[in-house]
Amino acid sequence: MADRKLSKSEVKKLRDKLESKRKPVWQSIKASERKAALRWCQEYREFISTVKTEREAVDFIRKEAIKRGFREAASLQNSAKAPGIFWTFRGKLAALAVPGSGNPGDIRLIASHIDAPRLDLKIYPLYEELGMAFFKTHYYGGIKKFHWVAMPLAMHGVVLTGSGRKVEISIGEKPDDPVFMINDLLPHLSRKVQGSKKVGEAVPAEKLNLLVGGLPVNGPEDTKDAVKLNILRILDRRYGITEEDFISAELEIVPAGPARDAGLDGAFVCGYGQDDRSCAFASMQALFGLESPASTCVALFLDKEEIGSDGNTGAKSRFIEQIYLDLFRLAGTDADPGALLNAMTSTRAISADVTAAVDPDYQEVHDRRNNALAGHGICLKKYTGHGGKYAANDASAEYVSLIRRAWDAAGVRWQAGSMGKVDEGGGGTVAKYLAALGMDIVDAGPPLLSMHAPYEIAHKADLYMSYRAYQAFYSTDL
Ligand code: MN
Ligand code: MN
């Protein structure tokens, strides 16, 4: 039987009822919420301006937790005595929890990562060449090496001296601080050595050397490596460290200076490390806003995601089990192996991580129908991984259904998407490592432009909606 011909208004009704719509957030929210979003993003901008390493993120989270009366798990006998609990582990992993009113095994968890792509100093970094001193580096995570030349860089980190004293270093952020540069070749002479090469090979890793000095030590003219010696002398005078101490150091080279608003209308935040400290900040703020939730809410801030989540501060670390054990202990309940396992397998979790926004200039690598659009809200990613869903966490339809209902009920503006065309590339998150513990987990975070570049771009609507989405996840009945 042929259908009756529909009128214009009937077609519109049908469309409204059946078609999926992705709307830009900004025009679909109230003026008061736009205002709240801008205020929130200002605080966020300050956060990513000051927090540039995983260690600095842990320090920040600890201080904010203490300010709110949270107590360190190890120092606490019973969680009823504090509004919240915090953990830090080896200075590079942190967790926060607000105990729920129900069973201690009823847990909601949001995991983000606080490490970001950067350059690390090598074990023996310092050398002199042609009257200039340099630090050799080894890149950390997925960078495009040509991004890191000819731009002001800062150095953040720690050095442990021969006697075990810890020295904290941060150079390049204050207006009067010197910065560090990796020199690039002038275009006049780079035709062959760079211009004729593939872009990924034009700047080799071994040429990512940081200019750190050009003044010789005040000694006899024939003093060998006099500039290098002068740098060592400055380091000794300022920090009491020697060349050997670089062996027991973690010094990270990151873009210098604060994050900024981007665009004439200030629609975007431009800053370093938004993958994934945007999600770390949003989940931290969501957790701090909780008042007596039903489920125990946990925010986990992981290190080492950018290099595969290995190591004792990454998502594969057993520290996550320690947190669960503590939660049981602090609730005054016996954590027998069965109860612990049950708490893990029944945990509802979000892997809070960014995704790629469709880049208008490179639409050929994206699937426009299935990839995230900037300004269209937090992006829910059912699965990650690459070609053929290899190495993916693929959340169940049932779990995705819970999340979308929670967000819709709370008025969160969100979109669903995956990253890039199917065989174009891809990437993973911590989701699959937490899924291995049996949790229900799905990825969700703001889409970024220029992801993994020294300055990444995020739309303010998406940053704010990520915060709102994490808030709803913690406090809505699932
Ligand atoms: Mn990430
Ligand atoms: Mn990343």
CATH of the domain at 384: 3.40.630.10
Taking the CA of 277 as reference, the closest ligand is 1
The amino acid occupying position 370 is N
Q: In angstroms, what is the span from residue 107 Cα to ligand 1's centroid?
A: 23
Q: Which of 202, 229, 255 is the last residue of a domain?
A: 255
What's the rounded mean pLDDT across residues 85-102? 96
Cα(354) to ligand 2 centroid in Å equals 8
- Ligand at minimal distance from the CA of 315 is 1
For the chain, the helix, strand and coil percentages under 3-state DSSP, each to the nearest 5: 35, 25, 40
Average pLDDT rounded to a whole number, residues 197-221:
96
Tell me what pLDDT residue 477 has.
82
Q: Are residues 57 and 29 in the same domain?
A: yes
pLDDT digits (tens, 9 = 90+) for 309-354: 999 999 999 999 999 999 999 999 888 999 999 999 999 999 999 9
Distances (CA, A) of 165 to 53, 60, 245, 291: 20, 22, 10, 41
Query: What would the pLDDT profile of 173-195 be if each residue is shown by its tens digit?
Result: 999 999 999 999 999 999 999 99
Find tokens 């595969």 and name the residue: 308
Does residue 349 sit in the same domain as residue 470?
Answer: yes
| Å from CA of 453 to ligand 2 middle | 10
Alpha carbon of 58 to ligand 1 centroid (Å): 17
**What is the whole-number distance in angstroms between the Cα of residue 419 and the centre of ligand 1?**
12
Asked if residue 184 is part of any domain, the answer here is yes
**What is the Cα–Cα distance from 155 to 251, expressed in whole angstroms?**
6
From the CA of 461, how far away is ligand 1's center (Å)? 19
Express each pLDDT in 264-310 by its tens digit: 999 999 999 999 999 999 999 999 999 999 999 999 999 999 999 99
User: pLDDT digit string (tens) for 109-119?
Assistant: 999 999 999 99
Q: Residue 47 C-alpha to ligand 1 middle, in angstroms?
A: 17
Ligand nearest, relative to CA of residue 114? 1
Distance 278 CA to ligand 1 centre (A): 10
Q: Do 455 and 343 have their domain in common?
A: yes
C-alpha 54 to ligand 1 mean position (Å): 13
Does 291 reside within a domain? yes
For the chain, what is the mean pLDDT?
96
Radius of gyration of the chain (CA): 25
- Tokens 């995230």 sit on residue: 372
Q: Do 342 and 250 sit in the same domain of this protein?
A: no
Distance 331 CA to ligand 2 centre (A): 35
Q: What is the dihedral of CA 456, 460, 463, 468, to 10 degrees?
A: 180
Ligand nearest to the CA of 429: 1
> CA–CA separation, 462 vs 377, rounded Å?
4
Which ligand lies nearest to the CA atom of residue 117 in the structure?
A: 2
Cα(261) to centroid of ligand 1, in Å? Answer: 21
Phi, psi of 424 (to 5 degrees): -85, -25
- 3-class DSSP assignment, residue 37: helix
Q: Residue 220 and residue 231: Cα distance in Å, rounded?
A: 17
Q: Is the peptide bond before 276 cis (omega within 30 degrees of 0)?
A: yes
Asked whether the beta carbons of 317 and 410 are under 8 A apart, the reply is no
* Residue 424 pLDDT: 86
In terms of C-beta density within 10 A (0-12 exposed, 13-18 middle, 19 or more buried), how is residue 211 classed?
middle
**How far away, in angstroms, is 79 Cα from ligand 1 center?**
31
User: Per the domain annotation, does 179 fall within a domain?
Assistant: yes
| Dist. CA 74 → ligand 2 center (Å) | 31
Burial class of residue 106, CB neighbours in 10 A (0-12, 13-18, 19+): middle
- Tell how far the Cα of 219 is from the centroid of ligand 2, in angstroms: 47
9 occurs within a structural domain: no
Decide if pLDDT at 148 tops 70.
Answer: yes
In a domain, 341, yes or no: yes
Distance CA 247, CA 408 (A): 52
431 CA distance to ligand 1 centroid (A)?
Answer: 11
**In a domain? residue 267:** no
Pairing of strands 440-445, 348-351: parallel
- Measured in Å, residue 327 CA sits from the centre of ligand 1 at 27
Is residue 78 scored above 90 in pLDDT? no
CA 133 – CA 335 distance, rounded (Å): 56
Contact between residue 202 and residue 117 where contact means Cβ atoms under 8 Å apart: no
Beta bridge partners of 111: 300, 351
How far apart CA 323 and CA 299 sit, in angstroms, is 11
Q: How many CA atoms lie within 13 A of 131 on its CB side?
A: 4
pTM of the model: 0.97
Q: Ligand 1 mean position to 193 CA, how many Å?
A: 33
Q: What is the distance in A from the centroid of ligand 2 to the CA of 457?
A: 13
Cα(152) to centroid(ligand 1), Å:
24
Domain count, the chain: 2
Question: Which ligand places an atom closest to the C-alpha of 384?
Answer: 1
With b for 16 or more beta-carbon neighbours within 10 A and e for fewer, the 170-183 pattern comes to ebbbeeeeebbbbe
Judgement on whether residues 433 and 301 belong to the same structural domain of the protein: yes
Ligand 2 geometric centre to CA of 117 (Å): 7
In the predicted structure, residue 1 carries a pLDDT above the cut 70: no
Give me ligand 1 centre to Cα 231, in Å.
36
Contact 51, 57 (CB under 8 A): yes
418 and 322, same structural domain? yes
Same domain, 435 and 374: yes
The beta strands (E) that lie in 303-428 are given as 348-351, 355-356, 378-381, 385-386, 414-416, 426-427
Q: Which ligand is nearest to the CA of 279?
A: 1
Task: Locate all alpha helices (DSSP H) within 296-396, ordered by sequence.
Answer: 319-330, 337-345
Cα(429) to centroid(ligand 2), Å: 8
What is the distance in A from the centroid of ligand 1 to the CA of 413? 21
Q: Return the CATH number at 198.
A: 2.30.250.10
Q: Worst-scoring range by mean pLDDT, 102-106, 194-198, 294-298, 459-463?
A: 102-106
- On whether both 86 and 151 belong to a single domain, the answer is no
Is it the case that residue 220 has pLDDT exceeding 80? yes
CA distances from 406 to 127, 283, 326, 478 (A): 57, 16, 28, 7
Kindly write down the DSSP assignment for every residue of 198-211, as one continuous string.
-GGGSS-GGG-EEE
Assess if residue 4 is contained within a domain: no
The alpha carbon dihedral of 88, 89, 90, 92 has a sign of: negative
Q: Which two tokens stand for residue 292?
A: 């007596």
Same domain, 406 and 457: yes
The percent of residues in the chain predicted with pLDDT above 70, rounded, is 100
Q: In what order do the strands lie in the sheet with 260-262?
A: 260-262, 268-271, 456-459, 447-449, 355-356
CA distance 255 to 156: 10
**Exposed/middle/buried for residue 332 (C-beta within 10 Å: 0-12, 13-18, 19+):** exposed
Encoded tokens for 406: 């929670």
Read off the pLDDT of each residue in 432-450 and give the average, rounded to a whole number: 97
Compute, in angstroms, the gap from residue 143 CA to the centroid of ligand 2. Answer: 9
What type of residue is 354?
V
The label of the residue with tokens 């606490």 reads 76
Same domain assignment for residues 76 and 149: no
Q: How far is the CA of 310 from the centre of ligand 2 (A)?
A: 14
Ligand 2 centre to CA of 428 (Å) is 8
Give 123 Cα–ligand 1 centroid separation in angstroms. Answer: 26
Q: Which two tokens stand for residue 252?
A: 């990270």
CA of 177 to the centre of ligand 1 (A): 30
Please report which ligand is nearest the Cα atom of 353.
1
In a domain, 8, yes or no: no
More confidently predicted of 53 and 423? 53
If asked whether residues 277 and 363 sit together in one domain, one would say yes
Considering the domain architecture, whether residues 160 and 112 belong to the same structural domain is answered as no
Where in the sequence is the domain holding 250, given as residue range(s)? Answer: 118-255
Query: Six-digit token pair at 185?
Result: 């070749």
Q: What is the pLDDT of residue 2?
A: 77
